[in-house]
Amino acid sequence: MGLDSVQLTTFAAVVNEGSFEAAARTLHVTSSAVSQRIKALEQVVGQVLVRRTKPCEATEAGQALLRLAGQVALLEHEALRAARGPLAGGAVRTRVAVVVNADSLATWFLAALTELPPEFTVTFDLREDDQDHTAELLRDGSVMAAVTAQNVPVQGCRVERLGAMRYLAVAAPRLATRHFPDGPASAAFAAAPMIALNRKDTLQHRFLNRVTRRRLDPPLHHVPSAWGFVEAVRLGLGWGLVPEQIALDDIAAGRCVELAPGRHLDVPLYWQHWRLDSAILNALTGAVQTAARSALR
């Protein structure tokens, strides 16, 4: 097809940075140069590739090219490093874009990044999303890998099981005493305030269905931050499902009590990544698997 690699890089920068101006700054060229390259690429492909919104987005036609641009950049970077030797490679950094579910990002995932051998000069462009929605960013080419609950491989991706994140239902002692004096009864769960991250987060509802075998609709707060969520539970705003590691610490410290001892929710997590023979992607996959083995079940 003979696509111009400068045009491709420019296109990826516009989508990744969100605007023609930001892409121009990153690439150290003028905005009009960016604009001309995008127009030229769109003419070659015969499709509109960038939706000129705020932020700019890849069109459906653009998504295939966005992934291609990321893959070419990764392979080019590795070929150059191999050709020039590891010392010269230090100046060029490759962008490694990964989407991670909120609870993994707040607990075990970051340690994996620091385990990457130092010869890989990369910058991480992490995204956070609900574990049931992470695959969309893989599909549209914005990220090269995902920590996700979705085990059906996205086209062109490989899936590996990481283990399960276990959640326990906990609440502040004050809230538990007030709303659950007789333990985890259905009537108590129907009336006690509950916390979820946001509308996409259905963990609490799934746990409720399983424990009470009823479809309950309790008062619901949204606290859209993994850390804020845990803090809100500790402060007694409502009960919620907290990753086991944090929950056990909080229970031991007396900050929280378990609402339904012996009951839990396990969420299997997967590592989906581009099917690409890349040293960086392979090393990252190894580091993520190692970190997951010690943190997940």
Task: Please name the residue that has the structure tokens 């690699």.
Answer: 5
43 touching a copy of itself, by CB under 8 A: no
123 touching a copy of itself, by CB under 8 A: yes
Question: 128 has which bridge partners?
Answer: 100
What is the contact mask toward a copy of itself in residues 203 to 222, using x (rule: CB under 8 A)?
--------------x-xxxx
Are residues 102 and 230 in contact, defined by beta-carbon separation less than 8 angstroms?
Answer: no
Burial class (CB in 10 A: 0-12, 13-18, 19+), 279: middle
Binding-site member from 51, 52, 199, 297 for a copy of itself (CB under 8 A) = 199
Closest C-alpha to 192, from 204, 176, 205, 215 = 176
Are residues 245 and 104 in contact, defined by beta-carbon separation less than 8 angstroms?
Answer: no
**What is the SS3 assignment for 128?**
strand
Binding-site member from 183, 227, 266, 282 for a copy of itself (CB under 8 A) = 227
Cβ-based nearer residue to a copy of itself, 41 or 102: 102
Cβ-based nearer residue to a copy of itself, 171 or 237: 237
Binding-site member from 14, 17, 141, 169 for a copy of itself (CB under 8 A) = 17
The residues, ordered by sequence, that sit 6+ positions from 237 with a Cβ below 8 Å of its Cβ are 193, 195, 221, 223
126 touching a copy of itself, by CB under 8 A: yes
Binding-site member from 63, 64, 206, 236 for a copy of itself (CB under 8 A) = 236
Q: Which helix (H) or strand (E) holds 58?
A: strand 57-58
Cβ-based nearer residue to a copy of itself, 76 or 136: 136
What is the contact mask toward a copy of itself in residues 128 to 167, using x (rule: CB under 8 A)?
x---------------------------------------
* Tally of CB atoms within 10 A around 38: 23
Cβ-based nearer residue to a copy of itself, 218 or 286: 218
Binding-site member from 93, 210, 214, 293 for a copy of itself (CB under 8 A) = 93
Distances (CA, A) of 153 to 160, 209, 272, 274, 275: 9, 28, 7, 10, 10
Task: Please name the residue that has the structure tokens 């970190």.
Answer: 291
Applying CB under 8 A, the span of 19-27, 138-146, 265-273, 282-290 interacting with a copy of itself comes to 19-27
Applying CB under 8 A, the span of 21-29, 72-80, 152-160, 260-268 interacting with a copy of itself comes to 21-29
Question: 51 has which bridge partners?
Answer: 57
Q: Can you give the binding site for a copy of itself, defined by CB under 8 A?
A: 17-18, 22, 25-26, 55, 93, 102, 105-106, 109-111, 113-114, 121, 123-128, 193, 199, 217, 219-228, 231-232, 235-237
